[in-house]
Amino acid sequence: MRTGALLAAIAIPIFGYPLAAQRGDDLLDADGSISFDHFHTWQEVNLIMERLSLRYPELTELESIGRSYEGVELLVMTITNEATGPASEKPAFYLDGGIHAAELTGSEVALYTLGYLLEHSKNDAQVRALLDTRSFYIRPKFNPDGSNLVLNTDQSLRSTVHPVDEDFDGISDEDPGEDLDGDGWITRMRQVSNSGPMCAQPEDPRILVRRQDTPPGATCYDVFPEGIDNDSDGRFSEDGIGGIDMNRNFPRNWERWHLQPGSGDYPLSEPETAATVRFINDHRNIAFIVHGHTSGGFVFRLPSASPPSLFDTTDLALIDDLSAFYSETTGRPIIPSATHPTNHRYGTLISFGYWDHGVVGWVPEYSPGPEKWVPDANGDGEVTESDWHAYNDSAFDGSYFSPWTKFDHPELGEVEIGGWHRKFWGQNPPAELLLAEVEQQVPWFLHLAGRTPLVRVAEPVIQELGNDRYRVSVTVRNDGDLATHLTQRGYEGRRTDDGRLVQQVIAPPVVTLQHRGGTIVSGGDGPLPASRMTIDHLAGANGTTTAVTARDVTVTWVVESTGPFAVRATVVSQKGGTHRSAWVRKR
């Protein structure tokens, strides 16, 4: 019976993953919404995005921006209402997730957000207005190889699966952790030791506490990660899979390994980071970057990979202003990523976004951890590991903890293996709590998307000057909240000898007068009359940035015509979109 194989062959979609994800039908509910009852593999996410792109063809574009280390397509979904203009002509909001392999919630938030936008595209006024005027670029699986390794195997890793010799013995990835007891989880090993630093809590011996916090007579242990010493160097699990941290691999303020472990051999050495920078360079309409990580239950803001003293104070005020809505809606704090004058991260994505593109970015660390989502069962005013066990036992049948079990270890002798499943009880929430975590992130994204600059051009006004000459006046206005240069950094450029500011980080808006009939005899950027006129940046409703103060400007051309003619104006702003007036006729 070959029907299954035949169907699979016919149904294999453009991105070429096998329909092993035969559970595709379970991934979307009947109404097209995505189920968040489990964490999704990249195959599932790509299949969902493909299904949604077929369900909402007028709102979506699905493209691959490159391939991962293992050759998986890196998919980005563009969402906007194409009836009101192409995505590239609207200010854009960029959201990704999962650059760090085990930070699976970041991918789920991005997936949830794209589903939310599409499901609410008809009946939600806020979403409808945003899709009419803004674009969203959403990339749930920044690092498909790493996230699938975490989901499908007992292994974990920081970022890409690209092998690295982390212990400098000439061999890469030779001493990962092992699931010795075969329960599917790499947990911990404990071995009874009179001098061991950790001891069993008398009331619940599953719990290990520091020796100084236990009464005399407790059983104490040496504790190791679960595994064997594969390379006989006396250490367990010190050279696992991978070792590069892709969020240290971006080109702005990159540093080599001795200052920044995990940075890679050179900036953008990884295909996933190189694809990201290419994408951002090619999409100059991106006005915000939200780079989704997990865990902690807060958001990192700029500055990130640079000393705080270098950071513009006006921009800091603007970032606080843009961040406030997140704390209001989630109750979670926004904290600076860099606070020390010299000790800071290097080569992060949001640093690249700010210094190279003038764009504000954030790193949300989703999922606050068990301290926040476990109820205080014993009512002592704090959530301790005892409460974790009470909740895990009652709500989840104990499924997120492997009970300590005796094991005859080849190197250590008798040990016990057990502990929390940190992937889903710590770093990520249990799948049962995933939906509650992801849905609370969306209001801030919509809020940010609505705060971009948004340029509009009025119909040209034609005024007769005599002698077949006409003055054509065009008024351009920024209706958005932020200035067209977004930030003070965006306004920076090079001063020429005659005092002009050129090569600004964010290019200034350009107004173009299209004409049929007639000749332009004055106006334009250069010494000769021309249709193209560069204007200064325009302020937005938000007064925090002060490089410019005018929200609108009127520019003029002189057109000579002995007969009828027609004109229309177009304004192009890198971050504020493209807008065209109607045609205006004379005679």
Nearer to Zn ion, 337 or 402 (CB): 337
The two three-digit tokens of residue 526, written as one number: 């250069």
Report which residue type is found at 234. G
Please give the C-alpha separations between residue 450 and each of 90, 136, 552, in angstroms, as whole numbers.
12, 11, 19
- Rounded Cα distance between 90 and 88, Å, is 6
CB 482: neighbour CB atoms within 10 A? 29
CB 329 within 8 A of CB 341: no
Q: From the CB of 304, what's the least distance to Zn ion, in Å? A: 12
- Rounded Cα distance between 114 and 75, Å, is 13
The sheet with strand 198-201 has its strands ordered as: 204-210, 198-201, 220-225, 188-192, 413-420, 401-409
Q: Which of 239, 227, 112 is nearest to 171 (CA)?
A: 239
Q: From the CB of 411, what's the least distance to Zn ion, in Å? A: 32
Nearer to Zn ion, 59 or 350 (CB): 350
Q: From the CB of 493, what's the least distance to Zn ion, in Å? A: 33
Nearer to Zn ion, 427 or 578 (CB): 427
Nearer to Zn ion, 79 or 102 (CB): 102
The two three-digit tokens of residue 392, written as one number: 């895990």
Contacts to Zn ion by CB under 5 A: 100, 103, 293
Query: Cα 427 vs. chain centroid, distance in angstroms?
Result: 17
Strand partners, 473: 461, 556
Q: From the CB of 11, what's the least distance to Zn ion, in Å? A: 35
Q: From the CB of 102, what's the least distance to Zn ion, in Å? A: 9
Please, what's the largest Cα pairwise distance for the chain? Answer: 107
Q: From the CB of 105, what's the least distance to Zn ion, in Å? A: 10
Q: From the CB of 100, what's the least distance to Zn ion, in Å? A: 4
- Helix ranges restricted to H, 100-235: 104-119, 125-133, 144-152
Nearer to Zn ion, 362 or 565 (CB): 362
User: DSSP code of 39?
Assistant: P
Nearer to Zn ion, 90 or 293 (CB): 293
CA angle 155, 36, 68 (to 5 degrees): 45
Q: From the CB of 352, what's the least distance to Zn ion, in Å? A: 16
Q: From the CB of 96, what's the least distance to Zn ion, in Å? A: 12
User: DSSP code of 297?
Assistant: S
CA quadruple 375, 380, 383, 388: dihedral, nearest 10: -70
Nearer to Zn ion, 300 or 404 (CB): 300
CB 292: neighbour CB atoms within 10 A? 27
Nearer to Zn ion, 155 or 452 (CB): 155
Nearer to Zn ion, 246 or 538 (CB): 246
Q: Which residue has the tokens 């079990």?
A: 405
